[in-house]
Amino acid sequence: MSDEQQPPILPEDEQKRLALRVMLEAWDDAVAQGASSEIVASSAIFAALTDMIDIYGEETVAEMVAEWPDRIREGEFTLKPNSP
């Protein structure tokens, strides 16, 4: 048994805020070092999907992403009012 203590598990809403903050900091760092936002975005989606598949399996993730086109068209992921 290790003497190191594990950090406490945060409530889900705090976990989401923490995860998003850390990911956005890493995103900004990658862009500052010369990666394009498009490449960072593609890499983030790839990393997210591979982790989700490891956790939930291919079929479940395929069903989840099958809903994305409608959600995208409905503006769920649109932050800028005049995005193309």
Domain-embedded: residue 26: no
Domain-embedded: residue 84: no
Number of domains, the chain: 1
Domain-embedded: residue 14: no
Higher per-residue confidence, 79 vs 52? 52
Statement: residue 38 has pLDDT above 60: yes
For residue 80, report the phi and psi dihedrals to the nearest 5 degrees: -95, 135
- Tell me the pLDDT tens digit for each residue of 15-29: 999 999 999 999 999
Domain-embedded: residue 50: yes
- List, in order, residues 6 or more apart from 31 with CB less than 8 Å away: 37, 40
- Domain extent at residue 56: 36-77
Statement: residue 78 has pLDDT above 60: yes
- Predicted local distance difference test score (pLDDT) of residue 84: 55
pLDDT tier for residue 41 given thresholds of 50, 70 and 90: very high
Domain-embedded: residue 51: yes
